Copies of this chain bind each other. A is one copy, B any other.
């Protein structure tokens, strides 16, 4: 009848209690970001992550119950960061400017956080085994909301008619391409940093696509 007591992991999987827990969890997630982004989920090993974090392997498993748990928490944190630029879109702003600014925000995210982008890409490529529910839930809701706004913008004639959902896909595809396929892009680009060119290219691309015809009544 003594307490089953002292499960190997800190009291709860939820919020960190002590200073040490906070520090080490951050250390682990940082290391996991590096290793998962470089080798993918399957290619990454707990030894690599623990070594990168400066902790022992059993110590990792003291803070997280399994490799999968680390991956899951990392991914959920990422999703928020990744959706932020779309949430910041001002539904009452000037249509063309709002979209062009969104494109630039997303491109900067791809440039500044390529590891996050690659982990996300890897997850989707594998069929989104851990975040499919979030895609079908939060993400779809956010896209539906944004699409409705874009549709309204088109109706008022401030934007050329395009399929709003495919427009959003296009923005994602074009911006993430520079992060996820970085090696290919640089190989073809002769090793030159593609981002300055991309910034200007995407700006003119979307401006031409979305500027309504002048001749309309």
Chain A residues in contact with chain B, CB under 8 A? Answer: 38-43, 118, 121-122, 124-128, 132, 135-136, 139-140, 143, 160, 162-163, 165-170, 172-174, 176-178, 180-181, 183-185, 187-190, 194, 197-198, 200-201, 204-205, 208-209
Contacts and interface: CB of A to CB of B under 8 A. Distances in A.
Copies in the complex: 2
Contact of A177 (B38, B173, B205): B173
Contacts of A208: 160, 208-209
Contacts of A190: 140
Contacts of A122: 40, 125
Closest 5 A-B residue pairs measured CB to CB?
A: A173-B177, A166-B201, A42-B43, A135-B187, A42-B42
B205 A170 contact: yes
A58 B68 CA distance: 32
Main secondary structure of the interface of A (DSSP, over half): helix
B170 A201 contact: yes
B128 A184 contact: yes
Contacts of A168: 188
A169 B187 contact: no
Nearest to A189: B165
A103 to B, nearest CB: 12
Nearest to A198: B166
A40 B160 CA distance: 40
Contacts of A177: 169, 172-173, 177
A143 B188 contact: yes
Contacts of A185: 169
A41 B165 CA distance: 32
